[in-house]
Structure 1
């Protein structure tokens, strides 16, 4: 006589399917590079005529704009890779080195952003000038606070400040959509342009705060484990 004995199934939960670790960093990089690619295409169009010959237009960029694009690109690419838990776990040294390079890129983007704001103050409204000052200053402040937090081994605070900084860094990408759709609805007046630019940063910061508060306990446990890890 044969008895068919099935293994107990009570209390056993099916394994969760995790999303690929590369999905979020790749999406952030692609999204962050949208304004950089769009600006590059615009510069090419200015320098090349409709028939493919040189149009004589000025396709060059002023120095602060070049520095801003360079810093923003480094920050967007290396900053997005910091969201990969796999890279952080498997290559902690790479995480630290890339993080420091991302910080330098962010500070360069913030400083050149301030330079651009003052250089083109006469060509923008007062409100837009204020928004640009707040964005550049906020980016620099969040980066400094995030770096200070990690030096003190406060991982949850470090993560929160860096997410906020990255949200500001992605502001130009969101503004592609707020300006692109908003101008069709509200026109191209100085006030609407300023508010649509500000909306890009505001939307990103709102999403950042949601992400920071999504799983605070898990981050706090990870921070405690990291703080106890021998250096």
Structure 2
């Protein structure tokens, strides 16, 4: 019977920690939409069309939390049936996350603090995440476990971009203060996804050796 190792606890704990701030922020946003609290010009778009943002937030939160347990080897081997069943749910949640994110990018009015680059970055990220998850699902249907693992790592990493963006924004909040806008915001948002992309590729290369 497989046993949990320090590596399992480290992987699950780290991914849950990375999910913490975005999950709390998402829960607060949902509460605001339900109660109508803190209505401002900046978040007006959410109140005018709340369903897509509801779908996006719920899908991202559950995707990030459940996904944290999928990549710990000992946990996965000990709970292989749970892994498979949850994996099917995560495919749907991941696609909901990516596609609702694309919907929000295309259909919602531009946020005043967003620069000119962020729209294109979000399109690339959303399409890439959807592609990774679809390819990961296709791979496991073809019984290619290794390729499935690689593509799901990539898809999950992009889905966790909001967690890394907390850290890419941190120096700005500490040394500059206030909310960034324009090119600095675009770069910090893009850096979160880029870091996760690079870490995912490093993990895939490491697993391939």
TM-score normalised per structure 1: 0.74
Among 140, 144, 152, the residue aligned to 2:134: 144
Secondary structure (helix, strand or coil) at the match of 1:126 reads coil
Q: Give 1:1-231 correspondences, 5 Å limit.
A: 18-41=5-28, 57-58=38-39, 62-123=50-111, 124-182=114-172, 184=175, 188-217=180-209
The higher-RCO structure (CA 8 Å, 6+ apart) is: 2
* Higher gyration radius (CA): 1
* Matches of 2:36 and 2:184, distance apart in 1: 32
* Matches of 2:26 and 2:141, distance apart in 1: 37
* Matches of 2:20 and 2:170, distance apart in 1: 16
* Matches of 1:55 and 1:72, distance apart in 2: 22
Q: Please, which runs of 5 or more residues in structure 2 have no aligned partner?
A: 41-45
Greater fraction of residues in helix: 2
Counterpart in 1 of 2:43?
A: none
Q: Please, which runs of 5 or more residues in structure 1 have no aligned partner?
A: 1-17, 48-53, 218-231
How far has the Cα of 1:78 moved from its partner?
Answer: 1.6
* Matches of 1:73 and 1:42, distance apart in 2: 12
How far has the Cα of 1:20 moved from its partner?
Answer: 4.8
Counterpart in 2 of 1:15?
A: none
* Matches of 2:29 and 2:150, distance apart in 1: 35
**After superposition, what is the alpha-carbon deviation per residue over 1:35-65, rounded to whole angstroms, capped at 9, x for unaligned?**
1213445777x79xxxxxx996339762211
CA RMSD of aligned residues (A): 2.6
**After superposition, what is the alpha-carbon deviation per residue over 1:195-214, rounded to whole angstroms, capped at 9, x for unaligned?**
11100000011111111122
Q: Rate the CA distance shift 1:89–1:196 in 2: closer, same or farther, 3 A.
A: same
- Aligned residues between the structures: 193
TM-score normalised per structure 2: 0.81
